[in-house]
């Protein structure tokens, strides 16, 4: 992924909130209510999706993901 959002103090606060962190394809898919793992993987390749892959493991902030989906 080439387009990773910058870490500012607001994003860092979100990332440190354990209830907001979604680690792994299954966790992200389950948070979206029935979306498949393949769909999450495809969305992660999209440069606009707030799903990143630091150190090889998929990560998303629940808050950012919901905001992104509402805007679509």
What is the pairing mode between strands 21-23 and 51-52? unpaired
Give pTM, 2 decimals: 0.69
Residue 48: pLDDT band with limits 50, 70, 90:
confident
Task: For residue 43, give its domain range.
Answer: 20-71
Residue 9: inside a domain = no
Q: What is the pLDDT of residues 8-22, one digit of tens each?
A: 666 666 666 667 888
Residue 1: inside a domain = no
The alpha carbon dihedral of 69, 40, 34, 59 has a sign of negative
Q: Dihedrals φ, ψ of 33, to 5°?
A: 65, 70
| Total domains, the chain | 1
Residue 61: enclosing H or E segment and its boundaries?
A: strand 59-61
**Rounded-to-integer distance, Cα 44 and Cα 38, Å:** 10
């Amino acid at each position: 992924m080439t387009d990773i959002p910058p870490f500012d103090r607001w994003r860092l606060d979100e990332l440190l909130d354990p209830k907001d962190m979604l680690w792994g394809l299954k966790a992200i898919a389950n948070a979206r209510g029935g979306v498949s793992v393949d769909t999450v993987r495809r969305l992660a390749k999209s440069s606009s999706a707030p799903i990143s892959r630091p150190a090889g493991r998929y990560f998303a902030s629940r808050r950012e993901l919901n905001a992104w989906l509402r805007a679509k």
